[in-house]
Amino acid sequence: MKTSRQSKITGSATPAILLTVALVIVAALLWTKVRIANNQTAETQNQLAQARADAAQLSSKLDAANAKIVMIQKDLDASKLAGDQFKSMADEAKTNATQLQKQLEDSTSNYTTLKSQADEFSAKSTQLQAQADEARALVAKLQSERDQAKADSAVVQKQIEDAKEQVASMQSKLQTAQSQLAEQQKAVAKKKK
């Protein structure tokens, strides 16, 4: 009779223990995924190596925890109260797993947002580079046109100087001719007298 009763306690406690073990493993896996996701977006290669070391340490702790669970399972065979306690722990582990899942989803969303912003920034940078190249080409063109205008201005200035010299020469010749004409007129007037 006593053996049958203990078997019932053991049978009812075993699913709770298995559920606890499964939830602890799921929580550990989700926790590791969250750490990896965070390392991909924010931490350096050295921090990633540290995270791997931490993950190895966590795996060791998980193995130790599993060993303890085996020992606790033996104790649960003698106590229904211990089974209720582990059920409570399983509920807490499930809550933690849900929280870790949400953190993982948030991290994934943040990574997607940051990548989208980076792509947008890259596109704008390319556009600005094209505009800068176009502006440089326009400046070069204007510089060339200014240099050409300076050259043309120098040619026109030279032509003006040449024209001034020609006018001055013609004015000098005109004055000489006028002087000669005045002398001839005086000579003609003397002959008439």
- Would you say 97 and 30 are in contact if contact means Cβ atoms under 8 Å apart? yes
In this prediction, residues 38-55 reach a mean pLDDT of: 65
Q: What is the pLDDT of residues 61-72, one digit of tens each?
A: 878 877 887 776
Kindly report, residue by residue over 83-128, the tens digit of the pLDDT.
Answer: 666 687 888 888 888 898 888 888 888 888 888 888 888 888 889 8
Domain positions in the chain: 2-130
Is 4 a residue whose pLDDT tops 60?
A: no
Mean pLDDT throughout 149-174? 84
Chain centre to alpha carbon of residue 90: 42
pLDDT score for 76: 59
Q: What is the mean pLDDT of residues 132-155?
A: 86
At residue 158, what are phi and psi to the nearest 5 degrees?
Answer: -65, -40
CA distances to 6, 12, 115 from 1, in Å: 9, 17, 66
